[in-house]
């Protein structure tokens, strides 16, 4: 299988990147940015049924006509298929494909290990097979677990994951360390802190709450509403990933990508209310297993190594999300 730009007989002077999970929330924003900045992009996605295929197709719809994009429907769990259909020359691999979400991982841990651990191992073997020199991995703030020392720093070696999902992300970082040490593949793990913005995954709180509010349904508030999250705007995460793709000073790094600002659950709900112009109905529920009381990123390292400067005001980011949600729903209504 040849990339479109090869089929069209164009010279291959542009840098090549393979993005796994490119039809997803973060992946599709990254694909858009990379196309704009002149990369040849191959993306692998199996359109996992965790949420609707239509949403993932919509995520990529604005880019499908681009000649420097190749979309392959492949599964990172299937190594022979990856080699058969996706092997090629890549300057960097960005591995975002995963089973995401903390709570569903408790119900189905085996599936999470299969995709997130074995899938990551396959992608590392694939990188070696293709001679790709650099690998950027989507890790997660969940690896810190219940670590009470905030803000969470990469130098803090106290990882206390409390969900299968979090444990799979720790495993991915460790596998990457092995490949950096044994085979000299530069491995950069980025620990994302709750990413939000247009196209956000429908299972994440902001998206779920917004839907429930517009339908007049009660919002489940777990615990007393004092849990705090460090929310990071998706375009800023994309800037961080793009910088990690070019980082070349050391062979292995773990870097937080957060906003270094926390928002309480109650404040989150009020901000969504303002953006949507509706009042939420609240339903109080006990704390959920696997949930942590707070997430809070120290971004000193991201600033120093990647020039990462998160600036998006939270209410503006939420307004952008709300606008996208309205547009998406009216588009889907027209198609239906």
Kindly list the catalytic residues.
165
Q: Between 195 and 242, whose beta carbon lies closer to ligand NAD?
A: 195
Q: How far apart are CA 35 and CA 30, in angstroms?
A: 9
DSSP structural state of residue 192: E
Tokens at residue 243, please?
Answer: 């910088």
Q: How far apart are CA 63 and CA 313, in angstroms?
A: 28
- In terms of Cβ atoms closer than 10 Å to its own Cβ (0-12, 13-18, 19+), residue 136 is buried
Residue 201 makes contact with ligand NAD by CB under 6 A: yes
We find the least distance from the C-beta atom of residue 208 to ligand NAD, in angstroms, to be: 13
Q: Where are the alpha helices (DSSP H) in 8-117?
A: 25-36, 53-61, 79-86, 103-107, 109-112
Residue 45 makes contact with ligand NAD by CB under 6 A: yes
Q: Between 14 and 125, whose beta carbon lies closer to ligand NAD?
A: 125
Q: Between 3 and 23, whose beta carbon lies closer to ligand NAD?
A: 23
Near ligand NAD by CB under 6 A: residue from 17, 19, 26, 254: 26
Residue 27 makes contact with ligand NAD by CB under 6 A: yes
Residue 171 makes contact with ligand NAD by CB under 6 A: no
Q: How far apart are CA 79 and CA 266, in angstroms?
A: 45
> Are the beta carbons of 111 and 68 closer than 8 angstroms?
no
Near ligand NAD by CB under 6 A: residue from 16, 43, 68, 115: 115
DSSP structural state of residue 115: I
Tokens at residue 336, please?
Answer: 């239906």
**For residue 184, how many other CB atoms are within 10 A of its CB?**
11
Near ligand NAD by CB under 6 A: residue from 4, 33, 66, 77: 77
Residue 4 makes contact with ligand NAD by CB under 6 A: no
Q: Between 46 and 239, whose beta carbon lies closer to ligand NAD?
A: 46
Tokens at residue 196, please?
Answer: 């939000």
DSSP structural state of residue 303: H
Near ligand NAD by CB under 6 A: residue from 192, 233, 308, 321: 192
Q: Which stretch binds ligand NAD (CB under 6 A): 16-24, 61-69, 103-111, 328-336?
A: 16-24
The DSSP H or E segment spanning 70 is strand 69-73
Residue 47 makes contact with ligand NAD by CB under 6 A: yes
Residue 236 makes contact with ligand NAD by CB under 6 A: no
Q: Between 31 and 219, whose beta carbon lies closer to ligand NAD?
A: 31
How close are the terminal C-alpha atoms of the chain, in Å?
34
Residue 161 makes contact with ligand NAD by CB under 6 A: no
We find the least distance from the C-beta atom of residue 164 to ligand NAD, in angstroms, to be: 12
**Contacts of 197 by beta carbon, 8 Å cutoff, 6+ apart:** 29, 233, 234, 235, 317, 320, 321, 324
Residue 42 makes contact with ligand NAD by CB under 6 A: no
Near ligand NAD by CB under 6 A: residue from 17, 24, 86, 213: 24
Tell me the residue length of the chain.
336
Q: Which stretch binds ligand NAD (CB under 6 A): 92-100, 143-151, 219-227, 270-278?
A: 92-100
Which residue in the shown chain puts its C-beta closest to ligand NAD? 24
> Are the beta carbons of 31 and 60 closer than 8 angstroms?
yes
Near ligand NAD by CB under 6 A: residue from 68, 105, 140, 171: 140
**Contacts of 261 by beta carbon, 8 Å cutoff, 6+ apart:** 230, 231, 310, 314
Residues that bind ligand NAD (CB under 6 A): 20-21, 23-27, 44-48, 50, 56, 75-77, 96-100, 115, 119, 138, 140, 192, 194-195, 201
């Amino acid at each position: 299988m040849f990339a479109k730009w090869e089929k069209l007989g164009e010279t291959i002077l542009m840098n090549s990147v393979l993005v796994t999970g490119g039809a997803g929330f973060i992946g599709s924003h990254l694909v858009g940015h990379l196309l704009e900045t002149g990369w040849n992009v191959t993306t692998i996605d199996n359109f996992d049924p965790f949420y609707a295929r239509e949403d993932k197709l919509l995520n990529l719809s604005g880019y499908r006509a681009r000649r420097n994009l190749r979309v392959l429907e492949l599964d990172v769990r299937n190594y022979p298929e990856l080699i058969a259909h996706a092997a090629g020359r890549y300057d960097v691999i960005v591995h975002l494909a995963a089973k995401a979400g903390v709570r569903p991982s408790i119900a189905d841990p085996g599936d999470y290990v299969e995709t997130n651990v074995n899938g990551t191992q396959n992608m590392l073997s694939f990188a070696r097979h293709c001679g790709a020199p650099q690998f950027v991995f989507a890790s997660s703030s969940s690896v810190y677990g219940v670590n009470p020392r905030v803000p969470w720093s990469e130098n803090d070696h106290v990882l206390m994951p409390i969900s299968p999902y979090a444990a799979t992300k720790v495993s991915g970082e460790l596998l990457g360390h092995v490949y950096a040490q044994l085979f000299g593949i530069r491995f950069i793990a980025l620990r994302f802190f709750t990413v939000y913005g247009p196209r956000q995954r429908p299972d994440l709180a902001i998206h779920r709450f917004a839907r429930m509010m517009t339908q007049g349904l009660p919002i489940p508030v777990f615990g007393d509403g004092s849990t705090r999250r460090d929310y990071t705007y998706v375009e800023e995460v994309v800037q961080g990933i793009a910088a990690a793709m070019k980082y070349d000073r050391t062979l292995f790094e773990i870097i937080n990508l957060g906003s270094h600002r926390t928002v309480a659950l109650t404040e989150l709900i009020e901000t969504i209310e303002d953006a949507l112009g509706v009042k939420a109905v609240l339903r109080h529920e006990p704390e959920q297993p696997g949930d942590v009381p707070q997430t809070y990123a120290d971004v000193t390292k991201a600033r120093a190594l990647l020039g990462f400067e998160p600036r998006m005001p939270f209410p503006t980011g939420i307004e952008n999300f709300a606008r996208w949600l309205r547009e998406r729903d009216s588009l889907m209504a027209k198609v239906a």
